[in-house]
């Protein structure tokens, strides 16, 4: 019986297991891959478990800050020990209430997506007698990498189109309660290799320098985004970028030579790279059936458990990690199964992978989906069909340090006018 099988027997399935030592290793590797003055933002959305965030927050003197986009993420980051003053609040739909509460908690840096977004931030800051430092998120018209998930260069709710910056910048400079501190870029996700990643960073730095030169964009702080690769729900190893620091320093010297004097501060951000390889999802085979020549392996985990892009058909297929040489041989030589992995939900969309290579299986067997530490329960359809959330177990040094489950409950909601809830319908 493997360690994972033991945990599945002890806590049941579906079950996430997160190794905190691997979170710490990913944090260390990425910080060491970046030039020394860089800041690193950890995207809370990737895995908001408080123990995972506590490791990412560190406390070892190395700069790791929280990137948040909701009051829930703000609360989780504060609980984990992140400093509110160092956080970056992002997102295209910041409400007045969110901005008020974030400013009251001490958040002072915001990524803004448009002129009106900046005005909303400014109005909230003025109401509290504060001043918000704002990074203009730029939707660049150009790109470098072509084999990754593009996040820029097309119509989007994210960012100010670079070609319009010269026209809108005078208006942006005059928004009360704000100061334009710099720019925020996020051109791609999951770069295919280090050359693609470096090429995109170089392109981003060149665009930033051009916008500063042509339009006078203030650049005291520049977030050049992420794109760090990590396998997702398939076997594989997280890359270690051994040459990235030197190549980034060369690119900075070429575009922003004053960075070494501290006149411009740079940052990167990451979600999946920091937490992805720390987690595995354990799920049990509930049934195996044949339908018109195809095999379906029905699991107790579906898109309500692991919905994060796989349930939307964007990152199919997942793959399982063999737990021994016999299983590995069956997958390698094709003597196992080729089947669709589906969940228990009453919807045809509950598919985790199609034509997945599997070992020979029986009802009751436990499968291990590796590299599942990012975009797990909180990126899934947790409440669909009323099934309980998966348990989440955290280990350090091989020992269990936490075992919890997200619980949902319905609570009373007071009207915004402060009066008692009115009858005649659900609160």
Contact yes or no for 151/199 (Cβ under 8 A): no
Query: 40-49, 79-88, 367-376, 407-416: which has the minimum mean pLDDT?
Result: 407-416
Q: What's the confidence (pLDDT) of residue 314? A: 52
**Mean of the per-residue pLDDT values of the chain:** 90
Q: What's the confidence (pLDDT) of residue 313? A: 47
Q: What's the confidence (pLDDT) of residue 425? A: 45
210 contacts: CB under 8 Å, gap ≥ 6: none
320 contacts: CB under 8 Å, gap ≥ 6: 341, 356, 358, 359, 367, 368, 369, 370
**pLDDT(138) > 70:** yes
**Paired tokens of 7:** 């945990």
Q: What's the confidence (pLDDT) of residue 37? A: 87
What's the pTM value of the predicted model, to 2 decimals? 0.91
**Gap between the Cα atoms of 218 and 230, Å rounded:** 33
Q: What's the confidence (pLDDT) of residue 89? A: 98
Q: What's the confidence (pLDDT) of residue 205? A: 96
Q: Please give the domain boundaries of the chain with CATH numbers for all domains.
A: 34-270 (3.20.20.10), 277-405 (2.40.37.10)
**Gap between the Cα atoms of 395 and 155, Å rounded:** 43
Residue with more model confidence, 61 or 84:
84
Mean pLDDT calculated for residue range 240-252: 96
**pLDDT(234) > 50:** yes
**pLDDT(269) > 90:** yes
Mean pLDDT calculated for residue range 147-160: 56
Which residue numbers are catalytic?
346
């Amino acid at each position: 019986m493997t360690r994972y099988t033991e945990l599945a027997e002890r806590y049941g399935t579906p079950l996430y297991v997160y190794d905190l030592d691997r979170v710490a290793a990913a944090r260390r590797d990425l910080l060491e891959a970046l030039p020394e003055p860089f800041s690193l933002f950890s995207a809370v959305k990737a895995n908001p478990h408080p123990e995972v965030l506590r490791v990412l927050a560190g406390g070892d003197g190395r700069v790791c800050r929280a990137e948040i986009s909701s009051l829930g993420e703000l609360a989780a980051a504060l609980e984990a020990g992140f400093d509110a003053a160092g956080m970056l609040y992002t997102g295209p739909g910041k409400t007045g209430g969110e901005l008020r509460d974030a400013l009251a908690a001490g958040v002072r840096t915001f990524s803004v997506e448009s002129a009106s977004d900046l005005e909303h931030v400014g109005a909230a800051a003025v109401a509290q007698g504060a001043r918000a430092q704002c990074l203009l998120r730029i939707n660049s018209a150009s790109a470098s990498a072509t084999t990754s998930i593009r996040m820029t260069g097309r119509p989007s709710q994210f960012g100010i189109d670079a070609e319009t910056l010269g026209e809108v910048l005078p208006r942006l400079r005059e928004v009360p309660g704000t100061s334009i501190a710099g720019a925020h870029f996020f051109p791609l996700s999951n770069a295919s290799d280090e050359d693609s990643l470096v090429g995109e960073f170089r392109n981003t730095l060149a665009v930033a320098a051009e916008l500063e030169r042509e339009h006078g964009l203030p650049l005291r702080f520049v977030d050049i985004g992420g794109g760090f690769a990590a396998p997702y729900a398939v076997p594989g190893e997280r890359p270690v970028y051994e040459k990235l620091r030197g190549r980034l320093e060369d690119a900075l010297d070429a575009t922003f030579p004053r960075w070494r004097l501290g006149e411009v501060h740079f940052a990167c951000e990451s979600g999946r790279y920091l937490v992805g390889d720390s987690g595995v999802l354990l799920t049990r085979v509930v049934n195996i059936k044949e339908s018109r020549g195809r095999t379906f392996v029905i699991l107790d985990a579906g898109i309500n458990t692991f919905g994060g892009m796989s349930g939307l058909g964007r990152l199919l297929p997942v793959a399982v990690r063999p737990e021994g040489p016999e299983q590995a041989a069956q997958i390698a030589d094709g003597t196992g199964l080729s089947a669709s992995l589906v969940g228990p939900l009453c919807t045809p969309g509950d598919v985790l992978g199609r034509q997945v290579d599997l070992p020979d299986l029986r009802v009751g067997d436990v499968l291990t989906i590796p590299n599942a530490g990012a975009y797990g329960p909180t990126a899934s359809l947790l409440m669909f069909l009323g099934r309980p959330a998966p348990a989440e177990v955290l280990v350090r040094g091989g020992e269990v340090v936490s075992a919890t489950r997200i619980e949902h409950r319905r609570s009373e909601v007071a009207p915004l006018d402060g009066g008692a809830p009115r009858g005649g319908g659900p609160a």
